[in-house]
Structure 1
């Protein structure tokens, strides 16, 4: 696991990952505090999907990236760095330019991406909920069985 490129605020995009050949994550609704969107962009094809946590389609994702997907791209660049995001999504940026969130988005939107099926939203949302469950655990030095695959970072005396 690599450290974030820059610190990010988790209120708007609490979960972002590069996994399964997609940039995907959970984005908070701007209008309803109880609603979140699961958004994704496929690597190479830039096919995108955006739907609510109860699988209703996003009204803004009609033929182009919605604001949720733009927020996801911005936060992914903060989390992983623009070069890594561009490389993962197979985005060609203008030669000599330093990659940025706007360059990554511009490189994808120039290809007229298609809207993808939202069938992959449920596993992404499930992983997000599993990550939230760790926040509810009391602080402890005892190992968590499901986290045993992480390499030890230090020995507790």
Structure 2
């Protein structure tokens, strides 16, 4: 068994490139969507929960208290464009394209970037999707913020102790 599996911490895949967290503090590829939290450009106290569905590119964008985004009417708003851009920085364009099932064609000559991915997805004329995922995404974001407030330690976290032990360490 590798040593890291005996640790109370999980391995973290480093980002493809460093990114600034002020505009998009949380981005993830999960639940069949690219989803995350995007800061408002006009109000420092407001954030938006944005998402893009895999394959269909159905999009959703609303505030953390479930008010619809005014810019996401009939097409991708700036929050969704920012989310795609930060996802490309975090995971790499190839991984994001593969997860979203975006057909980038023959990429032997060019590496896809965020602008190319947005252009490919908007060309399919995606429709506005369901905003029901906003609450769980925002909740996970808040949970991540809570972990940032903890002091660094290698001791087990009590809330994670429900995992059954895989092997007794002597």
How far apart, in 2, do the equivalents of 1:25 and 1:89 lie?
Answer: 14
Measured after TM superposition, the shift of residue 67 of structure 1 is 0.2
Instruction: Give 3-state SS (helix, strand or coil) of 1:49's partner.
Output: strand
Which residue of 1 is the match for residue 3 of structure 2? none
Which residue of 2 is the match for residue 6 of structure 1? 17
Instruction: Give 3-state SS (helix, strand or coil) of 1:8's partner.
Output: coil
Structure 1 residue ranges without an equivalent (≥5): 150-157
Select the residue among 139, 145, 162 that pairs with 1:126: 139
Measured after TM superposition, the shift of residue 117 of structure 1 is 1.4
Does residue 84 of the first structure (1) align with residue 95 of the second (2)?
A: yes
Deviates more, 1:135-144 or 1:21-30: 135-144
Which residue of 2 is the match for residue 73 of structure 1? 84
Select the residue among 110, 113, 126 that pairs with 2:123: 110
How far apart, in 1, do the equivalents of 2:25 and 2:111 lie?
Answer: 26
Say how many residue pairs are matched: 150
Which residue of 1 is the match for residue 104 of structure 2? 93
How far apart, in 1, do the equivalents of 2:17 and 2:159 lie?
Answer: 28
Measured after TM superposition, the shift of residue 102 of structure 1 is 1.0
Q: TM-score scaled to structure 2, two decimals?
A: 0.84
How far apart, in 2, do the equivalents of 1:136 and 1:93 lie?
Answer: 40
Within 5 Å, give how 1:3-82 maps onto structure 2: 3-82=14-93
Measured after TM superposition, the shift of residue 141 of structure 1 is 3.3
Q: TM-score scaled to structure 1, two decimals?
A: 0.90
Which residue of 2 is the match for residue 136 of structure 1? 149
